[in-house]
Amino acid sequence: MRATRAEYCVVACAEVWRGAGEVLASPMGLIPSLGARLARLTFAPDLLLTDGEALLVRPDGTPEGWLPYRQHLELVAGGRRHVMMGASQLDRYGNQNISCVGDWARPRRQLLGVRGAPVNTLNNPTSYWVPRHSRRVFVERVDMVCGVGYDRAAGLGGAARYHRIARVVTDLAVLDFATPDHSMRLVSVHPGVTVRQVREATGFPLTVPADVPPTRDPGAAELRLIREVLDPAGSRTREVPEGAAADGDRHRAEGRA
């Protein structure tokens, strides 16, 4: 059985922690959580997972250590955590908004609030997961800066010494900031997606290499772990329905809405 779009997204999220070593993974959302657990079970055995309260846990959720809040903050402040957050808006330099849409004094839509996004982005590596790649999310300018992007971090000196935005994974593609000015670059496209579709679903010009490869295929062992161990109920397909993400017309329509 071939891999589904959701499974490609899980593997792409797992790759965020490849080579990370003994750092705390803080995935936010189902697909990133499956990715972190998959990474721990395969190519990142030193990765630390938490239950979000006071324990370090194995991929199956059983406790393997104690992580009180004080020690958690030491990991955060020392760059020894890699968080994967969501984003209601992202711009070309990785500035993230999860607080409001529109003028912050009279927003059209109130969202989560700034929460821990500034601390996350300035104190430890950060990646983003966007389940619906569209112009609503990928905007020329965010309405409010919550997570700090490369252009703003450049003026903060030593305060941003741990700042690094590693990857952006969406239901269409994988992106990063490996360009001279740290603007967003297309890394790979998921099967069934074209470079044109990604460009049309993005509200600013992307850096696009001459040759954009497909997102790597999940291996047989990875598929078995996803389907039989990590998510046997198939919850991942509710976040990324099979076939829906390849519909470029849907993404273009969302961008115009």
Q: Which residue has the tokens 């969302």?
A: 254
Yes or no: say if 235 and 30 are a contact pair by the CB < 8 Å rule: yes
* CA distance linking residue 69 with residue 91, whole number of Å: 32
Which amino acid would we find at residue 153?
A: A
**What pLDDT is stored for residue 93 in this prediction?**
97
Query: Strand pairing partners for 100?
Result: 110
Three-class secondary structure of residue 30 per DSSP? helix
d(CA 216, CA 188) in angstroms, rounded, equals: 8
204-223: pLDDT as tens digits: 999 999 999 999 999 999 99
Q: Which domains are present in the chain?
A: 5-256 (3.40.1080.10)
Q: Does 37 have pLDDT greater than 60? A: yes
| Residue-wise pLDDT tens digits, 55-69 | 899 999 999 999 888
The span from the CA of 195 to the CA of 168, in Å, is 16
The pair of structure tokens assigned to 190 is 């998921």
- In this prediction the pTM is 0.90
Q: Provide the pLDDT for residue 170.
A: 98
CB 128 within 8 A of CB 168: yes
| Predicted pLDDT at 39 | 98
What confidence tens digit (pLDDT) does each residue in 219-248 have? 999 999 999 999 999 999 999 998 644 444
In whole angstroms, how far apart are CA 104 and each of 52, 141, 153, 220? 30, 14, 21, 47
Q: How confident is the model at residue 41 (pLDDT cuts 50, 70, 90)?
A: very high
The pLDDT of residue 253 is 43
Task: Kindly report, residue by residue over 109-161, the tens digit of the pLDDT.
Answer: 888 878 888 888 988 899 999 999 999 999 999 999 999 999 999 988 877 88
pLDDT score at 30: 96
